[in-house]
Homo-oligomer: A and B are copies of this chain.
Amino acid sequence: MELIKSLIQKNERKIVFVVLDGLGGLPVNGRTELEAANKPGLDKLARISACGLHMPVFPGITPGSGPGHLSLFGYDPVRYQIGRGVLESLGLGVELTRRDIAIRANYATLKDGLIVDRRAGRIPTSQSAKITEYLSENIKEIEGVEVIFKPGMEHRFAIVLRFPEALKPGSDNIEDTDPQKEGREPLPVRASSVEAEGVAEIIKKLLDRILFYLKNRETANYVLLRGISMVPELPDFGSTYGLRPICIATYPMYRGLARLIGMNLLDVKGDIPEEIDALKKYYDRYDFFFVHIKKVDSYGEDGDFEGKVKKIEEFDKYLPEILALRPDVLVITGDHSTPSLLRSHSWHPVPVLLYSPYVLGGLSSSFTERECAKGELGIFPTVYLMSLVLANSLKLKKFGA
């Protein structure tokens, strides 16, 4: 990234970077979702684009959404790791800074000092939310540290501790309190390095306060804390690459990720049509457009092959509206694969299509996993996609004389 930063030459060229979340798939009855989809626009575009497959981490590694996106934006996903507490909080719509400690919390049931149910009977979301709101009303701060509660699904919720000042690296080295098995005592809040001791003390006091308010409950009378983490120090996307970036995404987690790397945000509600509208509306004001389309992944996670196919087909119908903007570089890809066959993220490399005036083209006959494998980009680490994008927008100077 430092080498790239040193080679940046700004220009007016515009980049549209579309992420169809969980795009890659696997064959079911011989065809992947991309192969089954009727998508003449994408197929035509693939024939004149540079195609390939990219690997978010390294072969065989299935990425979460955090590493998947960091990699797409050129950040080494092994070097820059985003904790689970941070990801959960971003997903629940809390914007985080270096002043924050984010915690993934969940209700559990304690009896005679032992955890008898780690999920408090998967307590319904509505009921869980009521408890969380109650805590939120009663606990606003601990020793000058602001406390933010955010209800989540079922037994889950998030806690963010907002300190008066930016925290030192390592302040989040605090162990989970979940004993992982029922019939055991919850683990104590414990710093695993000296830098985290101050934060651990605050969390201990917070837990005591929480338990005070839960003490008369039969179930959901304990809270387990996991993934205690702070946002990593990430280089600013816009200043690193000399771009004015904007994130067009409907899900809070992706907006949160984009915010972490300093992208501007649009608070778009809806799905593909609303996102394309936003792209058109703001096209003059920015030069890098991260358009995130979530539902492709959602259908994959549900094992809904047809649903994923239909979502890809729906995107294809909006493709002409993107092309009508005449972006200098257009990328269409995913952050990872989510084959409906597996009902989950997978390790398979992700199809990518890069359209610019400076490609060979002609190597892939359609936009599918197998055709992308024949493309001029080959199979490459995702982390290099941004340098390819910048090169194709003529924003990179020559390296060396």
Contact = CB atoms under 8 A, between A and B. Distances in A.
B60 A389 contact: yes
Nearest to A58: B384
A56 to B, nearest CB: 9
A390 interface: yes
A57 to B, nearest CB: 6
Contacts of A81: 400
A77 B3 CA distance: 12
A226 to B, nearest CB: 11
B360 A32 contact: yes
B61 A387 contact: yes
Contact of A400 (B67, B347, B389, B396): B67
A237 to B, nearest CB: 16
Given A348-B358, A373-B376, 8 more contacts: A26-B359, A62-B399, A64-B398, A82-B401, A83-B401, A339-B358, A344-B398, A362-B370
B373 A58 contact: no
Given A363-B370, A379-B380, A399 B61 contact: yes
Nearest to A65: B401
Contacts of A344: 398
A26 B359 CA distance: 7
A84 B27 contact: no
Given A60-B388, A347-B391, A361 B27 contact: yes
A387 B341 contact: no
Contacts of A384: 58-60
Nearest to A342: B358
Nearest to A69: B400
Nearest to A345: B398
Interface in A342-366: 342, 344-349, 358-363
A78 interface: yes
A149 B81 CA distance: 52
B396 A61 contact: yes
A87 interface: yes
Contacts of A361: 27
A317 B347 CA distance: 33
A379 B399 CA distance: 20
Contact of A399 (B67, B227, B401): B67
A173 to B, nearest CB: 16
Interface in A303-321: none
A62 B78 CA distance: 26
Nearest to A88: B401
Interface in A22-45: 26-27, 32
A390 B32 CA distance: 22
B376 A378 contact: no
Given A362-B370, A363-B373, A400 B59 contact: no
A34 to B, nearest CB: 11
A400 B358 contact: no
